[in-house]
Amino acid sequence: MNTYNYQISLSYQQILELVKQLPYEDKAKLGKELAKETIDNRLSRLLNSFKTNELSQQEIDSEVETVRTELYAKKKNS
């Protein structure tokens, strides 16, 4: 079986008209895929905004251990 790939340019309006012709189940699947892609993009942007070269993993681990120790001491004294 031969498969061929074609590329066509469609406007937003043309795509919208095609989507309107889909059965409800396919529209729901398409909606889920679009939502997943949007969430993935937002999460990637969020994670990238927290990236820094100013802190090493060792510094982060050290600070986390310090805070945990302080919290444990407070809980023990309560």
pLDDT in the model for residue 10: 94
pLDDT in the model for residue 56: 84
Centroid of chain to Cα 31: 16
Map the chain to HEC letters.
Answer: CCCCCCCCCCCHHHHHHHHHCCCHHHHHHHHHHHHHHHHHHHHHHHHHHHCCCCCCHHHHHHHHHHHHHHHHHHHHHC
pLDDT in the model for residue 65: 94
pLDDT in the model for residue 1: 67
Tokens 């820094």 correspond to what residue? 52
- The one-digit pLDDT tens for each residue of the chain (78 residues) are 678 888 999 999 999 999 999 999 999 999 999 999 999 888 888 888 887 778 888 888 999 999 999 999 888 887
pLDDT in the model for residue 19: 95
